Structure 1
Amino acid sequence: MDRLKTGLTPSGAENYTPEELNALVAEYGWCAPVRILRELHTGRPDPLLEVMAPWRAQSSLRQRPVDGGVFAAVPSEELIDRFLQETDLRIVAEEGEPETEVRTAPELSDAEEVVSEELARIYLAQGLRDRAAAIYRKLSLLNPEKSVYFAELIAKTENNN
């Protein structure tokens, strides 16, 4: 891509003529940023880009530059004062939303310990064979129809100590 003059940025589209952008798209048709630059320059959407990568609609290349002067115009102390002067700062559930307590941590007892074959495999990978065997035993009790399968896994786990 030695023909790219500057970085692929929204302002970089201004560095190219329409002919140059078309030549780049012809040569690098697979390169979505080049197609986006051409869109920015011509103002017309690229139909192939929409088919190739529809998620590119949120591309940073399509975003307009932010004027930082707007943020510096109001001092931070004034912004904080404005926020603190707001009258209703409470977060209240909308009408019709359930009024249940939100839990931020799981509530598990020892009897409800999370067990899975994947957890046992992780323990084996970490070299924690006793824990893996314990998980397989619990799984065997929870799934009696697979007890033979778990018995074989327990034997393999214990024999590899």
Structure 2
Amino acid sequence: MEGLKECIARPEAAPAPEPGALDEALARYGWCMPLRLLRARTTGVEDPLWRALAPWRAASSLCQQQPAAADFTAFSSDDLIERFLREEDLRIVAQEGDASDDDVVMEARLDDDDRLVSEELAAIYLAQGLRSEAAAIYRELSLRNPEKSVYFAELIAQVENK
């Protein structure tokens, strides 16, 4: 039975089983459809029970032919991409006048009005003893985040009272 398990699991690698062994296994395990398929593949005679049940069951992977390894290595990844693009024509090509170089911003542009403020910067100012700068940062954060104004008001009070 071990040899039959190997034939069912890897039919391309295992040696073909004896037809008598298959018949004996089917007499004992008549419900085992992979055994019936293996017997049909080995003898070349289609199993009547397999044929009768085939329309009501999903296609078995045992019926499919194993792909050759050369099929997977025949094309490089560039060949596959080019073939896909030829078949589907999914290239994205910019047309004249669609976009200019001015639309692409590679660096942040800060005006004099745009100050960099964060709670971390305020904490750094506090660690350095710069309380007025930290309070100014918290005030700016309070204006930018009105939903957290109570939180920042408490922080400002703590900074000014120390």
TM-score by length of 1: 0.46
Whichever of the two has the greater Rg, that structure is 2
Q: Greater relative contact order (Cα 8 A, min sep 6): structure 1 or 2?
A: 1
TM-score by structure 2 length?
0.46
